[in-house]
Structure 1
């Protein structure tokens, strides 16, 4: 039995009890816990799982983020939960995260393409980034001693292979653009579709109000420029 501090709520002394087969093992563990306590690196044993911690972390993050960002975080971390979520947070290792990363790159896709194919490097990197952020917070909360995902990175070979395999998409020529404009002329989303040809990203177009869209003024401005 060893003192591990006081309860911040009640102020009562907190003690940790561990059982070992020999006195030597017990003394070694007592010394380890005592040293870590004085160094400020001691972490109390906890049975919280990775999934449970991610739920808590996302709940706190949601208070400071837009709904769309929270949704993005949720979807990104869902890629991690299936393989790592059941593991106790304090038992998660760098090998676990490394194995997940290689699985995700090799066969982690479950939607948006052929099931069982690998996820893209960017998708895996985003999931790693969110996991690292959540684990950093767990370190700050003294739930774990270190962020085991911190040094896990996408292999350079995987990045190079993805670049080599990616097909080069040729931009439309003038005739193809004109054909597209004629095809969508009577569509109810005619204006947004035209805006997609002007360099605006899909999210920017979706965020606009109909009152912001003026299909006449741009043509007039173009005529003035040509004049």
Structure 2
């Protein structure tokens, strides 16, 4: 027989069918049907059921208990992504969806097995999130990927909490930790001196000057691939030797599009090394011979086949893969050329704040995290002996301008 507490504070009863104690609390009524909305939870003991009933009743009277809406985690995640579509770039939205799909596979395939996605939003508890996170780690996903998944789930439930759809965020207490090997995030690859030398020679001999120059700008100016492809001639000041990043050519997994830089710091001016500047001038002459005049300011620096949009988004990737394979060098991503630029600037003594500015990072802390491996190596190597310092410092001056020119770096015979 059900035990009724004071009116409005809920009920505790034993279910013969489930052979468990049930706690139930009415938290409102459906505005359309007038039927009561009830929270129900089962427990192995009467004491646990009673404790839960009292806790929920107290939250309800304080206005801290969300009504049991029928929306599922998958449906709310879908609406969250739709709202994000108005706030972030297409490529970023694609990554958000990809990361969430690891935890909510029904986002990609409605028929997929998805216990979390089909669960009612208010019914999810930290144990459910823990099970999902552990499942992803057991599948062999990298620690970084699993952290990204948890980050997006946390953002979804934080919004549900702000909208008073849930009483608490079940993701908040769940942490993602891995073993020592997992904790060591793989940094971007920095090309070795001989690799830079071989690559530069191959780029000078490449039959397509557009692709070759895109790769060279990533290496000598630290541009992201999309930033290099998004350049127009108005963004390059050949007299001052400056390059201005104002837009990016992005890909969301289905289509390409021109968009603004991801952050305000992404808009920046980058000095062009002298030898790369000379090649840009020669490249501009190459276009003058084909067009009959210099390309107009709004002309893409690296146009595609029809000239209406930039070079294909994956063209530099394929070209770099072929070049490295032909040279017998280890694989590298286009983004590793940018990483090499940052590494070499730091190796030449450039302040981390300057490197952060050149690379368009939102803060120096991001630069520090990306190049943490370099700083740890430097810490081991640096020893200050005041007598040696005085003896070696006579007349030496700190360079005022930091530019990484890969060819100057190589030295007369490719020696660093």
> Gaps (5+ residues) in structure 1?
108-117
Q: Please identify the structure whose Cα radius of gyration is greater.
A: 2
Mapped to 1, the partners of 2:203 and 2:36 lie a distance apart of: 73
Alignment RMSD (CA, Å): 4.0
Greater percentage in strand: 2
Corresponding residue of 2:71: 48
Mapped to 1, the partners of 2:40 and 2:187 lie a distance apart of: 60
How many angstroms does 1:137 deviate by?
0.9
User: Which runs of structure 2 are paired with 1:48-67 in the superposition (5 Å)?
Assistant: 48-67=71-90
Greater percentage in helix: 1
* Aligned with residue 142 of structure 2, among 120, 140, 148: 120
User: Which runs of structure 2 are paired with 1:1-227 in the superposition (5 Å)?
Assistant: 2=8, 4=27, 15-16=36-37, 33-82=56-105, 83=114, 84-107=116-139, 118-157=140-179, 160-162=180-182, 169=189, 171-173=191-193, 174-198=196-220, 199-209=222-232, 211-212=234-235, 218=272, 219=274
TM-score, normalization: structure 1?
0.70
How many angstroms does 1:133 deviate by?
0.7
How many angstroms does 1:33 deviate by?
4.9
How many residue pairs get aligned? The number is 206
> Gaps (5+ residues) in structure 2?
1-6, 9-25, 106-113, 242-271, 279-400, 402-407, 409-416
What SS does structure 2 have at the residue aligned with 1:153?
coil
Asked whether the 8 Å contact 2:71–2:121 carries over to 1, the reply is yes
Mapped to 1, the partners of 2:176 and 2:85 lie a distance apart of: 28
Mapped to 2, the partners of 1:96 and 1:176 lie a distance apart of: 52
Runs of 4+ in 1 over 6 A off after TM superposition: 220-223
TM-score, normalization: structure 2?
0.41
Mapped to 2, the partners of 1:149 and 1:99 lie a distance apart of: 11
Can you list the C-alpha shifts for 1:73-122, whole angstroms capped at 9, x where unaligned? 22221122124212222222212212222222231xxxxxxxxxx22222
